Chain A
């Protein structure tokens, strides 16, 4: 065996059986991605190998974390126009066509991540083998970035597994494990590490006929079947994404319906469609959101903190779910509360979470075993991280810290999940006051990726960096914010919610308010959100925040709470609930929708965004946007609120605020921070958005 090439990103080795093993190992990177440079190097290598005429070619990765994680998203973001995009995509297709047309058998030997362009490359091979373990994930997540597969993925996957399975994978963007991929027919074998090399060698030395879809699966691709299936797919996608917000999945369905039985035409259409999509603001904003997420992840990169044991005090919804999440992510967890009764419901929720996420019995049991109900609080003394998640009472929290701090290890992080109390009030009485950091998780913990890292000028920097490192260890996104009332997310959300309540008080139907928010791209309407959180909790937070924000709490909210209408949990809030589901309200006959509704809610939100930036609650606009997208689900395809201000124009929004101040009062008074937003004036003239 000898290394035959010296490209910095890949090399091939020809073994004694004359089988070529092409190793991807991108320089200066922990993962393999298909940058333009890598693609070109790969192409050159394919040409060279073709001339050498080996018995076959095996593609594999030297990276521990996976095969190929996809195309280079950062290159997408730099594309300047449609032509450039189209050229890049067509070049990628050419390279993979060359791979598919090799005169000898080819095998993709997959481990870890095999996503997007990585899977498309594997699909261009004659055979695929995936390592059967928890780390291996295959998928085509392009729709999550506002595009769809462009390197021949759809053209190759449909004939391989039939339209229903192929389209489901591409439209959902979800990833699957090796066994599922084997079951679906995407890979030929799902094997443990010990058989991978031998299996690849055998496929090349004794090549079986390549796998293709079954007769029934092929039928789904028939011209007569496609229109009906296409409308079924549209309906399924419609449940999750609106075409005006997320055009990519719909474009994919259309091009399949059109060209599904003609792979050449499909490739061509794929490239044109992706080129259209990628220069569209939706894709650019989703790519931006992805990059913002990567930036938050990078905050914890330098942390050497390796916590193994987390102790959570308080087994309520938040505490219990934080504990379960930590156990799911491999931490040893102790969960304490005053009595076993209080802990038991959290164990039930944890079991449900583990079942949903882990599926197989052994990992579920291992996760359950890592989560120890601990009504005596034994875990405090052994924990690397102690998270307090008891009720929002400063006195009670201080007493708790006083009791547990002396038991804690000296290196251990002490964190509070408070959503409203400033650290200043809580750290009083601690032996090391600077060690208390806020780790503010959002509900539901397993869904909301963001964790606010709350600190102030008295915080110990080591502890802040530990908190960030810990947040990454449990695969959440850390967002450093200052310890001011409401921190960042709740503070920005609150005026928006309160304005929704004002609107409702003025007689706008709740369902109309929510409809407009959904149309803007919010994941849930504000009225429904308030009902879901609980109106008593909303009122509590609003009252704390209103002092600081110098705003009024709508009387309507107080009235509802006083009447016991607390939202979904009491069966009646703004909406009435039947078995936990909101009863649909009918709009009054002849009701005319008012486009100004969303403007009012959004402007108050944006005004608070500007105030937070001015006060330095968060480091910069990028972090703020990331926080709103991953903490609240703020329409990701709009790229975050700051980006939205930029796209509409700060000057225009400022004028609107002034107008609203005239008509609706001082709650719309523009924050003085708008003066600093001069760089956010509008770049172009298109206005399809509200505001």
Chain B
């Protein structure tokens, strides 16, 4: 691994200039107040107002999104035009499931490191509450045949082939969260990890409770300036992540029933990430751009890595993505001041922590001589994560990097590592550094 070229180490420096996100809004069973493009637009417009350059000076706009709406093809371009980035600024959408937002940042960083771009707007968005209900393929076939039949008799014959069950909708969100290769849904992959690493229900629930407590504290202490309030058309405005349950307790969490492996599983709605709508953006710049426009700097992108793992154990992706970054940069866990490992499931993060510090795992699965030092949980997801504030799949990657950069800036710390597991069996990670 070490012999591979790393453009982020050898190319031009890449700076994180500024960023902003929407509050993450819990899906409530009906389409939420915002389409994906609206969320992405509202998150970015104030951000762009605060920059000393005009939006048309971006060289690229890159947006991660797993499931844009039917009328949001290449959603990055739609949002870029609405933001006034201008006809001449190209924009493209990236999709790497749960890490689409991180993919957008990585693509932006590569653009800058390679010298192709100086100023890039990159982020992620997801309006999971707007995931469509689809007609089944059987219904589509029936409709096609009906439309093609000519003459009254043929029409009637086709019509008679109709069955009410054809109207049974396909829930795109559930399909999207199911691995079509191994046939497990994401919750079941977490059950696999819980079993393999012997993670107890109580341990998971404790992690979930802590996630809520940390988000509550972060809200109270004002660590979430990155949030830009969003406004709907009906007089509503949203200024805070609304997935937070300040009143949750171990008892309440313990009462929840398993949702994926009934009745014996351990993964519940309470110890999984919430289905949520949200968007996050970052401005990335080269040294040139920083000087030319006199930009402030949040941090620097030092390294990134993508890795593949067994789709049945996709939750271990972060371990496989973070490890090469650590070795390549000669780091151990203690060199990292803050960690963001996206909370898809409590069990999944906890499995990563176990594997990370497990000598057998590191030797066999990562080919390392020894395990890493354990990750200090006081420095992991310090202001909450997907369990408390939700995981809008396309947006989370951008959110954790944004928050990590803000945390480094706020604390004056040096290094942060952000990582996500990815449905389909992958992991992605990004190493960022604070600047003085």
Q: Is the CB of B235 within 8 A of A347?
A: yes
Asked if B231 and A343 sit within 8 Å, CB to CB, the answer is yes
Residue in A341, A347, A348, A378 whose CB lies within 8 Å of B50: A378
Residues facing B in A331-378 (CB within 8 A) are 334, 340-341, 343-345, 347-348, 351, 365, 368-369, 372-376, 378
B46 contacts A347, C-beta separation under 8 Å: no
Partner of B239, one of A340, A351, A365: A340
Say yes or no: B233 contacts A368, CB within 8 Å.
yes
**Is the pair A374, B233 in contact by a Cβ cutoff of 8 Å?**
no
Is A369's CB under 8 angstroms from B237's CB? no
Known: A369-B41, A369-B82. A340 touches B231 (CB 8 A): yes
> Contact at A378–B235, with CB atoms within 8 Å?
no
Say if the beta carbon of B229 comes within 8 Å of chain A. yes
B46 in contact with A374 (CB, 8 Å): yes
Given contacts A369-B41, A369-B82, contact A343 B46 (CB under 8 A): no
Chain A residues whose CB sits within 8 angstroms of the CB of B231 once the complex forms: 340, 343-344, 347, 373
CA distance in complex: A368, B45 (Å): 12
Q: Give CA–CA (A446, B231) in the complex, Å.
A: 22
Instruction: Contacts A374-B46, A375-B229, A378-B49 given; indicate if A341 touches B237 (C-beta within 8 A).
Output: yes
Report the separation of the CA atoms of residues A207 and B68 in the bound assembly, to the nearest whole angstrom: 47
Contact of B229 among A345, A369, A373, A379 (CB under 8 A): A373
- Which residue of A has the minimal Cβ distance to B37? A365
Tell me the smallest distance from the CB of B294 to a CB of chain A, in Å.
Answer: 15
For chain B, give the interface size range. 10 to 19
Residues of B within 8 A of A372 (CB): 45-46, 49
Question: Given A369-B82, A373-B231, A375-B229: A343 and B49 within 8 A (CB)?
Answer: no
> Chain A's nearest CB lies how many Å from the CB of B64?
22
**Known: A378-B49, A379-B49. Is A340-B237 also a contact (CB below 8 A)?**
yes
Give the complex CA separation of A376 and B239 in angstroms. Answer: 13
> Is B234 part of the binding interface, using a Cβ–Cβ cutoff of 8 Å?
yes
Query: Which of A345, A348, A375, A382 is in CB contact (< 8 Å) with B49?
Result: A382
Nearest residue, chain B, Cβ from A366: B82
Cβ contact within 8 Å between A344 and B236:
yes
B 179-207 binary contact with A (CB < 8 Å = 1; else 0): 00000000000000000000000000000
Closest-by-CB residue of A relative to B236 is A344
Q: Which residues of A contact B234 (CB under 8 A)?
A: 348, 351
B235 touches A344 (CB 8 A): yes
Point out the residues of chain B lying under 8 angstroms from A347, CB to CB. 231-233, 235, 237
For B83, the closest partner residue in chain A by CB is: A369
Instruction: With both chains docked as a complex, state the minimum distance between the C-beta of A467 and any C-beta of chain B, in angstroms.
Output: 25
Residues of B within 8 A of A348 (CB): 233-235
1/0 per residue, CB under 8 A from B, across A379-390: the answer is 100100000000
What chain A residues lie within 8 Å of B46 (beta carbons)? Answer: 372, 374, 376, 378
Residues of A within 8 A of B235 (CB): 344-345, 347-348
| Minimum CB–CB distance for B21 against chain A, Å | 15
Bound together, the chains give a CA A368 to CA B236 distance in angstroms of 14
CB-nearest residue of chain B to A350: B233
Q: Once bound together, how far apart are the Cα atoms of A341 and B231, in whole Å?
A: 10
Residues of chain A contacted by B50 (CB below 8 angstroms): 378
Contact A340 B229 (CB under 8 A): yes
Task: A618 to B152: give the CA distance in the assembly, Å.
Answer: 77
CB interface residues, B 228-269, toward A, < 8 Å: 229, 231-237, 239
Distance between Cα atoms of A591 and B400 in the complex (Å): 76
Cβ distance A362 to chain B, nearest Cβ, rounded Å: 11
- The residue of chain B having its C-beta at the shortest distance from the C-beta of A378 within the complex is B49
- CB atoms of A344 and B49 under 8 A apart: no
| Shortest Cβ distance from residue A276 to the other chain B in the assembled complex, whole angstroms | 49
Chain A 519-539 interface 0/1 with B at a Cβ cutoff of 8 Å (1 = within): 000000000000000000000
Name the residue on B nearest A361 (C-beta).
B71
Q: How far is the CB of B163 from chain A (nearest CB, A)?
A: 35
CB-based nearest A residue for B49: A378
Q: Give A350 Cβ to nearest chain B Cβ, in Å.
A: 9
For B232, the chain A residues whose CB sits under 8 A away are 347
Q: Mark B21-60, 1 if CB is under 8 A from A, else 0.
A: 0000000000000000000010001100110000000000
- What is the CB-to-nearest-CB distance from A311 to chain B, in angstroms, rounded to a whole number? 11
The complex places the Cα of A343 from the Cα of B46 at a distance, in Å, of 15
Q: In the complex, what distance in Å separates the CA atom of A347 from the CA atom of B82?
A: 18
Alpha-carbon gap, A351 to B237, bound state (A): 14
Whether A344 contacts B237 by the Cβ 8 Å rule is yes
A669 to B45, CA, bound (A): 59
When C-beta atoms are compared, the residue in chain B nearest to A352 turns out to be B233
**Minimum CB distance partner of A351 in chain B:** B233
**Interface set, chain A 290-321, CB cutoff 8 A to B:** none
Interchain residue pairs A-B with the least CB separation, the first 6: A348-B235, A351-B233, A344-B237, A340-B229, A340-B237, A347-B231
User: Could you list some 22 contacts between A and B, CB below 8 A?
Assistant: A334-B49, A340-B229, A340-B231, A340-B237, A340-B239, A343-B237, A344-B231, A344-B236, A347-B231, A347-B233, A348-B235, A365-B82, A368-B233, A369-B41, A369-B45, A372-B45, A372-B46, A372-B49, A373-B237, A375-B229, A378-B46, A382-B49
- Using CB atoms and an 8 Å cutoff, list the residues of chain B in contact with chain A: 41, 45-46, 49-50, 82, 229, 231-237, 239
Extra contacts besides A369-B41, A374-B49, A376-B46 (9): CB < 8 Å? A344-B236, A347-B232, A347-B235, A347-B237, A348-B234, A369-B45, A372-B46, A378-B46, A378-B49
Residues of A within 8 A of B (CB): 334, 340-341, 343-345, 347-348, 351, 365, 368-369, 372-376, 378-379, 382
